[in-house]
Structure 1
Amino acid sequence: MTQLKITGMTCDSCATHVKEALENVPGVQAAEVSYAKGSARLTIEAGTSPDALIAAVAGLGYRAALADAPAAPVPGGLLDRVKEWVGGGDNKAGHIGDGMHIAVIGSGGAAMAAALKAVEQGARVTLIERGTIGGTCVNVGCVPSKIMIRAAHIAHLRRESPFDGGMPPTPPTIQRERLLAQQQARVDELRHAKYEGILESTPAITVLHGEARFQDGRHITVRMSNGGERVVAFDRCLIATGASPAIPPIPGLKDAPYWTSTEALANDTLPERLAVIGSSVVALELAQAFARLGSQVTILARSTLFFREDPAIGEAITAAFRAEGIEVLDHTQASQVAYADGEFVLTTEHREVRADQLLVATGRAPNTRSLNLEVAGVEVNAQGAIVIDRGMRTSAPHIYAAGDCTDQPQFVYVAAAAGTRAAINMTGGDVALDLTAMPAVVFTDPQVATVGYSEAEAHHDGIETDSRLLTLDNVPRALANFDTRGFIKLVADAGSGRLIGVQAVAPGAGELIQTAALAIRSRMTVQELADQLFPYLTMVEGLKLAAQTFNKDVKQLSCCAG
């Protein structure tokens, strides 16, 4: 008879789940588990590994140890790992999170950042993932989309560039299946290096593959992907389940084989005609990429492109797209979608749009519906996003949330920063996430980059502004590139002259916006920005020139006037 001491069980139901888990361990003939005594009595076959017994209990979120002193374990073995989780290790002394068990639902940017910080703080973590490890960004979002966009950019330059007069173009042959294989290989490489490999090499993190659902405010039921259920008891929990494409209720759409961004990025074909419903980041990045790879693209925008941003942004991108042959239909909605004989027919108030494939990219909805949040006391807003404060705390004690499943901006770097801060707060800290100087980039060409206030947002908050817009034909780098599409706009507080916002449409705008973010964070005035040294013939020099326009006519300055 073998006996385990078990801590962390809070009810007889916990004991039932522990009994089931132990009896599923090879070599266990019978198990009697008592919540009241905090113990388990096992009838096992000779040679049954005690490591496996303890691991089965730890996988449910409880702590276990052999009642009698075991033989010295093999260093680095599973028993060593579990002993460390229950406080047997001496390398985490002094951490507030020592001995704390944190459940993390999800495995994307927010989840991974939180799990690793929690371990650093001395906690042990059970990470629950229902799909592919790594979440949206590395698997079906940022990484594959930017690879495809880069390939499309190179295809575009081979077909057309400002230097065609002296370097005749050679239109490329696009082999989408090979590009896709290259794209997926890099995705797999990064997922293993940045997610799977790290989890495998971090003993204090246990990974459960399955669907999580709250049982109450202290327990999660996990329907395991390989069958059966486990109950995870936690001291703290982080919800980081991300978001999925939101599908508008257009009649006929659900019966048609449309693409979301996920299918578009994973498909090895290039449709001859592609219709895109959407007018913001994902829709426009992919629309331009497909157009540059050879598809004839039509965009249906309910209002205008980037209608939530400064109007100059949408105007500039619309002009750039139309110059490339992309059809942009402003103020156009599909009232009906039909699909027959391999063709989509979209009925709009103006005319029919026909296409071989349809991409729907109208935003992303939080993945919260299946979590049973109400029993845990976690509140969501009308869109289903979890409501959190600046410390990532939800309405429920001991439960935090971060990333795209919350009401935070849906950017992976925001999610990761939120996850790290949530872990600090879950283990006794008190830190906040300040988004007042959050940069954002859209990887169209030209790129769109913003930080801080737009004029409209500042006026909404009662701030009187003074703004300047500098077109790129005033920026030496753009002139040298023979590409002057776009602008840089600075928004200043009229009273103090302090920089409070920047909007840029430019090739490489994403590389200059962080300088603007640091200037805003440092509370610089536009004059202080104008007085800084910027290297000549860089796009970021455009920030200095834009700042100089508050007091000078930059057309009357020499090339690199200070």
Structure 2
Amino acid sequence: MTELKINGMTCDACAVHVKQALESVPGVQSAEVSYAKGSARLAIAGGTSPEALIAAVAGLGYRAALADASDPLPKGGRLDRARDWVAGGDKASHDGGLHIAVIGSGGAAMAAALKAVERGARVTLIERGTIGGTCVNVGCVPSKIMIRAAHIAHLRRESPFDGGLQANAPVVLRERLLVQQQARVDALRYAKYESILDGNPAITRLAGEARFKDGHSLFVRLIEGREHVVSFDRCLIATGAGAAVPPIPGLRDTPYWTSTEALVSDTIPARLAVIGSSVVAVELAQAFARLGAKVTILARSTLFSREDPAIGETVTAAFRAEGIEVLDHAQASQVAHMDGEFVLNTNQGELRADRLLVATGRTPNTNSLNLEASGVTVDKQGAIEIDPGMRTSAPDIYASGDCTDQPQFVYVAAAAGTRAAINMTGGNAALDLTAMPAVAFTDPQVATVGLSEQAAHDAGIETDSRTLTLDNVPRALANFDTRGFIKLVIEEGSHRLIGVQAVAPEAGELIQTAALAIRARMTAQELAEQLFPYLTMVEGLKLAAQTFSKDVKQLSCCAG
């Protein structure tokens, strides 16, 4: 038997894909792949190329080496460069030109690395885990795939057209959905991260964990155990964030889920309890409910408590209509796991569940970086404090993404990474977040941009506002789904649009138009005068703008 060591698998579904890839290599008779052990055992014919085995695994975005090989990096290309560097010392910092070290490999890190190379720098990218960061591996991509599958299941079970279209409750084969989900994750990771790194000679990747030695060098403990020093002219910290776990007595002694474990579960629990009330909690709660779980949400305050109150009220009503139990102002005082079930003591009584999902926010991954040695300061939550140019408190060290005090969205991280690279290479770029759109992929979706009325008042801005319910939007009427609203907030006096909040089945598709209107400093009247295609949800923005001067109920269906 031939054995391979494999780095980068994140679940059993990954092992299935690796097995399929290996068994497609000529000469491989069978393969047994273990995600838990990070290995593969193969029965192969004589003369089978080890390089072909390693290449098959690399094609999926993972790293492989023969188990008895002293060097885990296969010869050739980018990985060969990495080996030569580690063996021969820190050549990258002595070859001439600006050398930038990037810690992390997610959206912020990749955007920064590519922009820095474009501007003439050489980059060393250091990643301790799977290339691609949270979004593609365990965040945005797998969650939206699961949410979409759950939405399809929901529509097959019930829809506004059941009077004329016979509903059929679907049989949910979660293990097959998971394989499909993970295959798309693997493909995107390879296409958008691994293959790009492979093809860029100005970027050298190191697999290992970095910590600061001082303000211009890093210790990197490589995967194989050796430690290497990387000197840099500039450094970007883009280490992301991990799930926050609240200090509930007994919780850490139980097999609770974070979003990471929930997304790779190959079963749907009969009963799921969810602690949390923001985006991740509500998205996954609804997805699991639509796939067959009986879901109870424990919200410390209310759903979306930091947003306009109407948002939480509307989503809560939609959830309860689907059979999801939402407990407002609920807190767990004790958690135990006994006889295969979770027992939660709460201020609203005892709750029992087969699985428990904890989704109470995310904590910046900064504890292991030895930031004290670099002079980089963090806030009370461990987030790196940066200015609009992504500069930290230490000269020549920048940061972007979820490890900072910026909003935790991958598109914010990528934009920040690009601007950080410009500044690290002599430019002067800033990130303006005044018109930052945000979307929660519940059904109906929640989308916001700019200021809510309360945020505007807190900033000393006098406002006026209008709320248009969806029973005034032709697209919603044609869909027989009028759940939700569109709210516009304008500045009193100038009538300039400063904020939009929407709860609608396609709110995420309309919010960018609102963001552009705010960016263009449009007034409500100017927005009302624009041409919008009829029977689109985004037409609701025009109708909402018209309500500042007209009664839209008295207008013809597509009145300008």
The bucket for the TM-score relative to the shorter chain is 0.7 to 0.9
On the 8 A contact 2:259/2:358 being kept in 1, the answer is yes
C-alpha distance in 2, partners of 1:286/1:234? 41
Query: Is 2:544 the partner of 1:514?
Result: no
C-alpha distance in 1, partners of 2:89/2:402? 27
C-alpha distance in 2, partners of 1:405/1:53? 29
C-alpha distance in 1, partners of 2:525/2:274? 43
Distance 1:297 1:51, change over 3 A: closer
Where does 1:78-89 land on structure 2 (aligned, <5 Å)? Answer: 86=95
C-alpha distance in 2, partners of 1:192/1:51? 19
**One-letter amino acid of the structure 2 residue matched with residue 493 of structure 1:** E
Task: Give SS of 1:214's match.
Answer: strand
Select the residue among 180, 183, 188 that pairs with 1:182: 180
Select the residue among 237, 244, 247 that pairs with 2:245: 247
Distance apart, 1:403 and its partner CA: 0.1
Select the residue among 204, 218, 227 that pairs with 1:229: 227
**One-letter amino acid of the structure 2 residue matched with residue 115 of structure 1:** A
Give the number of the structure whose alpha-carbon radius of gyration is greater.
1
Where does 1:8-407 land on structure 2 (aligned, <5 Å)? Answer: 55-56=85-86, 60=90, 62-63=92-93, 86=95, 99-407=97-405
Distance 1:159 1:423, change over 3 A: same
Show structure 1 runs of 5+ residues with no match: 1-23, 27-49, 65-85, 88-98
C-alpha distance in 2, partners of 1:115/1:105? 10
C-alpha distance in 1, partners of 2:401/2:82? 34
**CA deviation map 1:179-198 (0-9, x unaligned):** 00000000000000000000
Select the residue among 551, 556, 559 that pairs with 2:557: 559
**CA deviation map 1:331-390 (0-9, x unaligned):** 000000011111101101121111000000000000000000011000000000000000
On the 8 A contact 1:133/1:195 being kept in 2, the answer is yes
Structure 2 residue aligned with 1:540? 538
Query: Is 2:491 the partner of 1:461?
Result: no
Task: Give SS of 1:473's match.
Answer: helix
Show structure 2 runs of 5+ residues with no match: 1-68, 72-79
C-alpha distance in 2, partners of 1:61/1:417? 30
**CA deviation map 1:91-142 (0-9, x unaligned):** xxxxxxxx10000000000000000000001000000000000000000000
C-alpha distance in 2, partners of 1:51/1:252? 48
In the alignment of these two chains, the number of paired residues is 484
Distance apart, 1:60 and its partner CA: 3.0
Distance 1:25 1:236, change over 3 A: farther
Distance apart, 1:227 and its partner CA: 1.3
Distance apart, 1:53 and its partner CA: 8.6
Distance 1:58 1:120, change over 3 A: farther
Distance 1:499 1:53, change over 3 A: closer
Task: Give SS of 1:470's match.
Answer: strand
Structure 2 residue aligned with 1:94? none
Distance apart, 1:55 and its partner CA: 3.3
Structure 2 residue aligned with 1:433? 431
**One-letter amino acid of the structure 2 residue matched with residue 526 of structure 1:** A
**One-letter amino acid of the structure 1 residue matched with residue 517 of structure 2:** A
**CA deviation map 1:373-428 (0-9, x unaligned):** 01100000000000000000000000000000000000000000000000000000
On the 8 A contact 2:93/2:232 being kept in 1, the answer is no
On the 8 A contact 1:61/1:232 being kept in 2, the answer is no
C-alpha distance in 2, partners of 1:404/1:263? 20
**One-letter amino acid of the structure 2 residue matched with residue 200 of structure 1:** D
Distance 1:384 1:555, change over 3 A: same
**CA deviation map 1:187-235 (0-9, x unaligned):** 0000000000000000110100111000011110001111110100000
**One-letter amino acid of the structure 1 residue matched with residue 282 of structure 2:** L
Distance apart, 1:62 and its partner CA: 3.9
On the 8 A contact 1:135/1:242 being kept in 2, the answer is yes
C-alpha distance in 2, partners of 1:127/1:59? 16
C-alpha distance in 2, partners of 1:131/1:528? 49
Task: Give SS of 1:215's match.
Answer: strand
**CA deviation map 1:483-530 (0-9, x unaligned):** 000000000001100000000000010000000000000000000000
**CA deviation map 1:445-501 (0-9, x unaligned):** 000000000000000000000000000000000000000000000000011000000
C-alpha distance in 2, partners of 1:384/1:184? 31
C-alpha distance in 1, partners of 2:531/2:463? 25
| Aligned residues: CA RMSD | 1.5
**One-letter amino acid of the structure 1 residue matched with residue 85 of structure 2:** A
**One-letter amino acid of the structure 2 residue matched with residue 60 of structure 1:** D
Structure 2 residue aligned with 1:413? 411
**CA deviation map 1:149-170 (0-9, x unaligned):** 0000000000000000000101
Task: Give SS of 2:214's match.
Answer: coil
Identity %: 79
Distance 1:210 1:53, change over 3 A: closer
On the 8 A contact 2:93/2:99 being kept in 1, the answer is no
TM-score (norm 1): 0.85
Structure 2 residue aligned with 1:10? none
On the 8 A contact 1:59/1:126 being kept in 2, the answer is no
Structure 2 residue aligned with 1:487? 485
Structure 2 residue aligned with 1:77? none
